[in-house]
Structures are given as C-alpha cells and as structure tokens.
Amino acid sequence: MDLFNPDPLSNLLPSDGIVQYYGPVMTRARADHYCKKLFDTLDWQPDTALIFGKLITTSRKVAWYGNEPYAYTYSGATKFALPWTEELLELKSLAEERSGETFNSCLANLYHSGEEGMAWHSDAEKMLRKDGAIASMSFGAERKFAFKHKQTQQIISVILQTGSLLIMKGTTQTHWLHRLPPTTKIKTLRVNLTFRTIEKG
C-alpha cells in the first residue's frame, strides 16, 4: 500500500507501532538550501555493513553527530559523534517542535543516486532509547520508504518528499523492519537525517 501525504496525526502502521508522516515541514527553496549545505559541510565517510559475516564498504556515506562524543555501534562498526553543526541544530529543533519529542544525536545518510539504498532492518541497537522516537528528515530526491511486519510480512510504503519529516516510535522497531529500496530511475542525490536518543549504559 502506497500512502501519499497522510494526516500526520494518523498512524501509517495498522498495528504494533507508530509511524507518522508530516510531509514537507518547510518550503522547497528552504529544503534545497539545506540539501546543498548538508552535502557540502557534513563529514561524510564511507559506511560499512556486516553481510554474511563479512564487513563490506558501501557506496552510501554516513556522518554521526551528537550532544556528546557518543559511540554508536551497528553492523559491526563503531562511530563517535562529532559536535553539532549550525544546520543540524536548526533541523533538530524543527523536528522536536513538530513532533514533541527530544533528540540528542543524529545519523546522517548520503545516497548519491537511486541505485544506493538500505536493506530491510530495524533500529534496535542497545544504546538507543527503547521504544524511543526516531525522526527522519529527507532532502533532495524523493524516495520510497517501506515497512514490513516481522510476523505477517505486510508491507506499507510512503514516498518521502524533500523537506519532509517522518517519525517512528513506540514498538515500531520491535515489530517492523524498514528499508529504502534501490531504483535505477532516480539519478540525483538524497540526504537523510535520522535524529535519535542515545542512553548511557
């Protein structure tokens, strides 16, 4: 099922979690400004993924920022948070204002074209606040984002527009996987910010 511009107060998921899509939360011109600024200024590094026991370097690049030099470990790799940039703080404040949530870190993702994506996964690392909110802000190319229930295999998808905000919270990460499907139709880049809350062990 594809959902376009749903009511942000409604839940995209039929059960076992909460996903709210706010659509664009800024003008197209402002979104274009942030897309270029984030692409030019964030400390993009090649990402790694643990696939069948082997550590693979991906084409997608990432950057990790936070209130403190938090260590964030996923897919067999550890990253240490850099200090916030001015643009990231502005966008974090906007995400907090719209969602009513608070965040202390951000994993940024750079996809150079539609051929780069993410496989099915859930964000359930031990250092993340359990059932805490994750805010996803998208800039640049519009891409499909999909959810799949771990038991029923039901799939829900939404098109993420530039300058848009999506919130995942509650038991979403426990019961649902999500992915960014690759596509050869999109030739332009996408920058994605995922604001999170890290808790000290």
Span 17-41, mean pLDDT? 97
Kindly state the percentage of the chain with pLDDT values over 70.
86
Task: Label residue 52 by pLDDT band (50, 70, 90).
Answer: low
pTM of the prediction?
Answer: 0.89
- Amino acid (one-letter) located at 122: S
CATH topology for 2-196?
Answer: Jelly Rolls (2.60.120)
pLDDT: is 67 or 167 the higher one?
Answer: 167
Kindly list the domain boundaries of the chain, sorted by start residue.
2-196
Task: Label residue 77 by pLDDT band (50, 70, 90).
Answer: low
Report d(CA 144, CA 192) in Å as an integer. 13
Span 135-148, mean pLDDT? 98
